[in-house]
């Protein structure tokens, strides 16, 4: 049962344009969402997050939008740069033991290629 889904395995965008990466989730108990960026042969790097009490969070060129009714979130990168080319993972913490611990549930990732 995939609780976090990224249905687009890849996305190609021209430099300077907007990149939009999508993520859907099924578990309505998720209260926080994170985006990670991953280069080959490296670990994921935290990018941006959003609490379920918000519908938007912005950090420089990166903005995450959350639509709780649709159980959908998206990451917007504006303007896109060649250095943004990487795999992007959407993730949500699944709480356990009354919130004493959590584990991250990851989507399968979207490979973003920004063409110069």
The DSSP secondary-structure symbol of 55 reads S
- Closest approach of Cβ 43 to another protein, in Å? 3
Query: What are phi and psi for residue 99, nearest 5 degrees?
Result: 90, 5
Decide: 114 and 14 in contact? Cβ < 8 Å: yes
Q: Does 93 bind another protein (CB under 8 A)?
A: yes
Of 22, 71, 108, 113, which lies in the binding site for another protein, with binding defined by CB under 8 A? Answer: 108
Considering only residues 42-71, where is the footprint of another protein by CB under 8 A? 42-46, 49
Q: Does 11 bind another protein (CB under 8 A)?
A: no
Contacts with another protein, residue ranges (CB under 8 A): 32, 34, 36, 41-46, 49, 89, 91, 93, 96-97, 99-109
């Amino acid at each position: 049962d995939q609780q976090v889904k990224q249905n687009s395995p890849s996305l190609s965008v021209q430099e300077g344009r907007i990149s939009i990466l999508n993520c859907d989730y099924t578990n309505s108990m998720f209260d926080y969402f994170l985006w990670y960026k991953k280069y080959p042969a490296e670990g994921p790097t935290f990018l941006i997050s959003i609490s379920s009490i918000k519908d938007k969070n912005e950090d420089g060129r990166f903005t995450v939008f959350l639509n709780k009714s649709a159980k959908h979130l998206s990451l917007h990168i504006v303007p896109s740069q060649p250095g943004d080319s990487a795999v992007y993972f959407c993730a949500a913490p699944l709480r356990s033991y009354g919130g004493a611990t959590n584990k991250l549930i990851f989507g399968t990732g979207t490979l973003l290629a920004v063409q110069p």
